A and B are shown apart, each in its own frame.
Chain A
Amino acid sequence: MAAKAEVRPRPLELDPIASRVELAFWEDLRRLKLDVLGTDDSPIPITGYYTPCTHPKMSGLLRLGRESLVPPSANSFGSRNSCPVPGTLINTNNMRGLQNLDVEYLLREEAKKILHDIMHGKIEEDPSLLLRFLVISFADLKNWKIYYSVAFPSLVFKSEMTLLSLHSASLVLSQEEAKSLSKSLKEWRSSNETAGLPFFFVDISSDSCIAIRQLKDWRDCQDNGQKLLFGFYDHGCHQDPGWALRNYIAFLSLQLKIEKIQFLCYREKRSELDLEKSLIGEASFPQPHGWDDSDYVPEAIGWEGEKPGDGRKEKKLKEINLESMSPERRDEEQQ
């Protein structure tokens, strides 16, 4: 289904990312807590795995699994279907501890890390830093229960980001461009070097020739008179661009000093570019001021399942029952 044609500029609206936490992650956390952490509740660096939308009617997600608690320095797991993304886990010692967390403050602290990485040129080297996420949890090991919440911090500009146009890629690109883009992105997605990089440039020359470039090659493809699309792996399958676009725009605005972009929301079908579902749009955004101050703490949104303006006192928590893993339960089942 083609995206609805947009004529009128409107505020840019984005489709939030959803998380999926596998039992293996909680089991690893349970063991870590029992064997290593004890009552230490300091933040733990973890890894999430992100994918673009791979099915026309099924959004992708950020997955936490067996490899997620392996320290990032020792974690080599990753593939085109599991792009590694850095995150932070704060596991509290009791329910009160979890409920007392200042969730808004924590979110802004994570957003500050993203801002810091943008300002210090780290995004060019590791674009996945734009997708940094946060998990807060309480593992009630006595009762085999886990309570948790996940956030995808997204920087909020004080002035609005404006969406000028948004169309299905199939409507925007010429046949030649579409063919060339599909081919280039197929190569990008099959190469071990680039498949896990969720942000990229699409460089379209006047003869419809297309090259996909890494963010770090930005300096090389500036001012050649060509058309540029700022591409990213879009997890969503909906009519709005995915969540990743806002931090991407923040990066483009703050680091590359751009105020208007054409962007490509990359979505797959059968492991290749889905021209119908992928979106090409144009957005403009005035430069934010004062963000380069090292003490500046940006506004942020992004708690999963929460609308902005919701009362933040009572955090909506997800609950996982691990009882099926308890030795008693397993013995019972086997009798």
Chain B
Amino acid sequence: MQVKQKVYELYKGTVERVTGPRTVSAFLEKGVLSVPEFILAGDNLVSKCPTWSWEAGDPSKRKPYLPSDKQFLVTRNVPCLRRAVAVEEEYDAAGAEVVLDDDEDGEGWLATHGLQASESKEEEDIPSMDTLDIGKVEEIKSIPSYFGAGEKPDDEEDIPDMDTYEDTGDHSTATPQPSYFVAEEPDDDNILLTRTYDVSITYDKYYQTPRVWLTGYDEARMPLKPELVFQDISQDHAHKTVTIEDHPHLLVGQHASVHPCKHAAVMKKIIDVIVSQGGAPEVDKYLFIFLKFMASVIPTIEYDYTMDFDLGSTST
């Protein structure tokens, strides 16, 4: 498997070197992005959702076909309140019939609407697509419910247990008045010790699509082992479409990435649906659509992609 992957990466690298970047738009026909379209869509994302920024990355990994200060997009310190694994287990236990994803034909992105609809009838603390909307804070769970019975992931080792919780509690307080520790604590139910992610989007020249990368941090803000990232990925994707690899613009650390081999096909499907509903998808909104699609792969990571506009229609 590893060798196969290496050989494949080598092949892909060679193809990328000998072929020029796409310059003609095939957004509507193939669901892919040219380099200028990626920049355009990225600029739009940064302007509408400024928690995202362009970054230059490591100079030694600079891609010549991208502007030096716009090599990739990043949003940092994004909360991930619950493990996707746990969410799905609960969901299965509740006898749900909607499958979160089906990456064969891209229905996964659409299926999440079904998930959302049925979830609202379930317990309210199952994160739905709504919780991805960063504005809806009510649904975000604080620590006490995070540690509530029946919500723990299987793997004992990875559970931040009460000891760690108390420990980090100590870490986060340093004021001159010791009374602080009792005075405000019970009221302050929004103390959030949770995993966080840095989410980055790079341009994959081979597949001519954006590609998402995840760098995780645990509840104590220490780097998360890449393997543990799989707990935050829809289990239909973990170890299949999501792999641990070197980041194309960063030198250090292994990062989880959603493999882009089916991105164009899924994006094409979504674009077709928008068109069939009378919309006219605009290429500068590609990343908004793309990030909504990514939410089916990483359902519990709450990055911002404001979706309060009609996809594709003229109004923004």
Whether B187 and A239, one on each chain, are in contact in the complex, defined by CB atoms closer than 8 angstroms, is yes
Q: Does B44 contact A (CB under 8 A)?
A: no
Whether B77 and A58, one on each chain, are in contact in the complex, defined by CB atoms closer than 8 angstroms, is yes
Q: Does B4 contact A (CB under 8 A)?
A: no
Of all chain A residues, the one with the shortest Cβ separation from B5 is A334
Q: Does B25 contact A (CB under 8 A)?
A: no
**Which of A18, A66, A238 contacts B252 (CB under 8 A)?**
A66
Q: Does A127 contact B (CB under 8 A)?
A: no
Residues of chain A lying within 8 A (CB to CB) of residue B191:
238
Whether B174 and A16, one on each chain, are in contact in the complex, defined by CB atoms closer than 8 angstroms, is yes
Residues of chain B lying within 8 A (CB to CB) of residue A333:
2
Q: Does B171 contact A (CB under 8 A)?
A: yes
Whether A13 and B222, one on each chain, are in contact in the complex, defined by CB atoms closer than 8 angstroms, is no
**Which of A23, A57, A271, A302 contacts B142 (CB under 8 A)?**
A57
Whether A56 and B306, one on each chain, are in contact in the complex, defined by CB atoms closer than 8 angstroms, is no
Residues of chain B lying within 8 A (CB to CB) of residue A51:
76-77
Which residues of A from 214 to 243 have beta carbons under 8 Å from B? Answer: 237-240
**Alpha-carbon separation in the docked complex, A105 to B200 (Å):** 40
Whether B175 and A308, one on each chain, are in contact in the complex, defined by CB atoms closer than 8 angstroms, is yes
Residues of chain A lying within 8 A (CB to CB) of residue B217:
20
Whether B184 and A27, one on each chain, are in contact in the complex, defined by CB atoms closer than 8 angstroms, is no
Q: Does A304 contact B (CB under 8 A)?
A: yes
Shortest CB–CB separation between residue A268 and chain B, in angstroms?
A: 8
Q: Does B304 contact A (CB under 8 A)?
A: yes
Whether A305 and B77, one on each chain, are in contact in the complex, defined by CB atoms closer than 8 angstroms, is no
Which residues of A from 277 to 335 have beta carbons under 8 Å from B? Answer: 301-309, 318, 320, 324-325, 333-335
The B contact surface, by secondary structure, is loop
Q: Does B144 contact A (CB under 8 A)?
A: no
**Which of B171, B174, B304 contacts A301 (CB under 8 A)?**
B174
Question: Count of A-B contacts with CB under 8 A?
Answer: 139
Residues of chain B lying within 8 A (CB to CB) of residue A239:
184, 187-188
Stretch in A77-85, A247-255, A258-266 with 4+ CB within 8 Å of B:
A77-85
Stretch in B47-55, B206-214, B265-273, B281-289 with 4+ CB within 8 Å of A:
B47-55
Q: Does A156 contact B (CB under 8 A)?
A: yes
Which of the listed residues B53, B77, B217 has the most CB atoms from chain A within 10 Å of its own CB? B77
Which residues of B from 169 to 220 have beta carbons under 8 Å from A? Answer: 170-178, 180, 183-184, 187-188, 190-192, 194, 196, 215, 217
**Alpha-carbon separation in the docked complex, A20 to B2 (Å):** 32
A55 touching B79 in the complex, CB below 8 Å, given contacts A23-B223, A23-B253, A307-B178: yes
Of all chain A residues, the one with the shortest Cβ separation from B79 is A58
Whether A24 and B252, one on each chain, are in contact in the complex, defined by CB atoms closer than 8 angstroms, is yes
Shortest CB–CB separation between residue B36 and chain A, in angstroms?
A: 22
Stretch in B10-18, B133-141, B234-242 with 4+ CB within 8 Å of A:
B133-141
Shortest CB–CB separation between residue B113 and chain A, in angstroms?
A: 22
Residues of chain B lying within 8 A (CB to CB) of residue A308:
174-176, 178
**Alpha-carbon separation in the docked complex, A60 to B75 (Å):** 12
Q: Does A1 contact B (CB under 8 A)?
A: yes
Whether B190 and A13, one on each chain, are in contact in the complex, defined by CB atoms closer than 8 angstroms, is no
Shortest CB–CB separation between residue B128 and chain A, in angstroms?
A: 17
**Alpha-carbon separation in the docked complex, A148 to B190 (Å):** 28
A271 touching B304 in the complex, CB below 8 Å, given contacts A18-B221, A81-B76: yes
Which of the listed residues B51, B174, B217, B302 has the most CB atoms from chain A within 10 Å of its own CB? B174
A24 touching B250 in the complex, CB below 8 Å, given contacts A11-B177, A57-B79, A63-B76: yes
Q: Does B251 contact A (CB under 8 A)?
A: yes
Q: Does A22 contact B (CB under 8 A)?
A: yes
**Alpha-carbon separation in the docked complex, A55 to B222 (Å):** 20
Q: Does A190 contact B (CB under 8 A)?
A: yes
Q: Does B121 contact A (CB under 8 A)?
A: no
Which residues of A from 58 to 83 have beta carbons under 8 Å from B? Answer: 58-61, 63, 66, 77, 79-82
**Alpha-carbon separation in the docked complex, A57 to B53 (Å):** 21
A61 touching B77 in the complex, CB below 8 Å, given contacts A240-B184, A269-B135: yes
Whether A238 and B221, one on each chain, are in contact in the complex, defined by CB atoms closer than 8 angstroms, is no
Whether B254 and A324, one on each chain, are in contact in the complex, defined by CB atoms closer than 8 angstroms, is yes
Q: Does A4 contact B (CB under 8 A)?
A: yes
Q: Does B58 contact A (CB under 8 A)?
A: yes
Interface string of B121-138 (1 = CB under 8 A from A): 000000000000011010
Whether B174 and A156, one on each chain, are in contact in the complex, defined by CB atoms closer than 8 angstroms, is no
Whether A309 and B252, one on each chain, are in contact in the complex, defined by CB atoms closer than 8 angstroms, is no
**Alpha-carbon separation in the docked complex, A189 to B170 (Å):** 33
**Alpha-carbon separation in the docked complex, A320 to B172 (Å):** 18
**Alpha-carbon separation in the docked complex, A156 to B175 (Å):** 10
**Alpha-carbon separation in the docked complex, A24 to B225 (Å):** 14
Whether A81 and B53, one on each chain, are in contact in the complex, defined by CB atoms closer than 8 angstroms, is yes
Whether A24 and B253, one on each chain, are in contact in the complex, defined by CB atoms closer than 8 angstroms, is yes
Whether A16 and B176, one on each chain, are in contact in the complex, defined by CB atoms closer than 8 angstroms, is no
Residues of chain B lying within 8 A (CB to CB) of residue A271:
49-51, 304
List A residues at the B interface (Cβ < 8 Å). Answer: 1, 4, 11, 13-14, 16, 18-20, 22-24, 27, 51, 54-61, 63, 66, 77, 79-82, 156, 189-190, 237-240, 269-271, 301-309, 318, 320, 324-325, 333-335
Q: List 6 A-B contacts (CB under 8 A).
A: A18-B171, A22-B253, A55-B79, A58-B77, A58-B192, A237-B190
| Nearest 10 pairs of A and B residues by beta carbon | A305-B171, A271-B50, A24-B252, A20-B221, A56-B137, A27-B252, A16-B174, A23-B253, A58-B79, A57-B192
Known: A13-B177, A24-B251, A63-B76. 8 other contacts (CB 8 A): A56-B137, A56-B140, A61-B221, A80-B50, A239-B188, A305-B174, A307-B174, A325-B253
